[in-house]
A and B are shown apart, each in its own frame.
Chain A
């Protein structure tokens, strides 16, 4: 199975800050890497698919990059609505696998 490792596991930050979350795969997933946002008690929401493609309706402050084994999710200027947990997920090989999540908290 492909293992997905996110870092950091959590971070405390402020509104307006630039946030970067990394995701590393244990083997190449090409560009089949997706990012989700989840708020407490809610379903995940797709933000970025295929490493760098913004899902329809997602604000442009979110961006993704990377290929192969190393990927990054960037929030250019954190907004109050962005405090949530973020997950990466590979859809290159079954079984699909998620990272352990990165919780973005208010400093």
Chain B
């Protein structure tokens, strides 16, 4: 079964760091982009960031709210993506999801959204 599983969430104090992991199974992880999204308690979905596959440059994109604080990386040999979160704020409290980015192969530039999602991991930023 094609699957993504997040881990690494927890309770952290404001200003501290946390690293989330997203482990893929049953597909060739290195061929695909990975995206992160989050959902604060009782709120809607917020896109966080994106990393292209190495085939498509391996470059990253971030939401303004996390740019400069969050970093996405990947280890294709282990089928894992990471979300390094630094200088955490109370407003970063959310369930964090990783998802597979579905590339439009007619352009190899655009993406058809996110077709496989993990179950989410909860991050609570509080003193």
A98 with B45: CB separation less than 8 A: yes
> Is B57 in the interface zone, CB < 8 Å from A?
no
A38 with B50: CB separation less than 8 A: no
A45-B64 Cα distance, complex, nearest whole Å = 25
Which of A13-21, A65-73, A76-84, A87-95 interfaces with chain B? A87-95
Which A residues touch B111, using CB under 8 A?
32, 91
A101-B42 Cα distance, complex, nearest whole Å = 12
- One digit per residue, 1 when the CB lies within 8 angstroms of any chain A CB and 0 when it does not, for chain B 31-72 equals 000010100000011110010000000000111100000000
A44-B119 Cα distance, complex, nearest whole Å = 9
A99-B45 Cα distance, complex, nearest whole Å = 8
> Is A5 in the interface zone, CB < 8 Å from B?
no
B112 contacts which of A1, A49, A95, A97 (Cβ < 8 Å)? A49
Shortest CB distance B25–A (Å): 15
A49 with B113: CB separation less than 8 A: yes
Which B residues touch A7, using CB under 8 A?
none
**Number of contacting residues on A, CB 8 A?**
27
Question: Quick one: given A49-B112, A94-B50, are A87 and B45 in contact (CB under 8 Å)?
Answer: yes
A68-B111 Cα distance, complex, nearest whole Å = 16
Shortest CB distance A49–B (Å): 4
Which A residues touch B63, using CB under 8 A?
95
> Is B30 in the interface zone, CB < 8 Å from A?
no
A72-B76 Cα distance, complex, nearest whole Å = 37
B117 with A43: CB separation less than 8 A: yes
A56-B99 Cα distance, complex, nearest whole Å = 16
- B residues near A, CB below 8 A? 35, 37, 44-47, 50, 61-64, 97, 99, 102, 104, 110-115, 117-120
